[in-house]
Amino acid sequence: MELHDIYLEISPEHIAYVKFIFESYEEVGLIRTVDRKKAIIVLLAMHDFLDTARQILDSLKREIPMMEIPRPTNMTDDWFMAELAEQSAEPQCPQS
d(C-alpha 78, C-alpha 32), whole Å: 8
Q: Collapse the DSSP code of 39 into the 3-class scheme (helix H, G, I; strand E, B; otherwise coil) and give the result.
A: coil
Model confidence pLDDT, tens digit, residues 23-41: 999 889 999 988 888 899 9
Residue 56 near residue 14 (C-beta atoms within 8 A):
no
State the burial class of residue 92 (Cβ atoms within 10 Å of its Cβ: 0-12, 13-18, 19+): exposed
Model confidence pLDDT, tens digit, residues 39-90: 999 999 989 999 999 999 999 999 999 999 998 877 655 666 666 666 666 5
* Encoded amino acid at 28, one letter: V
Task: Go through the domains of the chain in sequence order and give each one's CATH number.
Answer: 3-89 (3.30.70)
Report the predicted TM-score, pTM, of the whole model to 2 decimal places. 0.79
Report the pLDDT value the prediction gives residue 96, as an integer from 0 to 100. 44
Residue 47 near residue 2 (C-beta atoms within 8 A):
yes
Q: Collapse the DSSP code of 76 into the 3-class scheme (helix H, G, I; strand E, B; otherwise coil) and give the result.
A: coil
Question: 58 Cβ partners below 8 Å, 6+ apart?
Answer: none
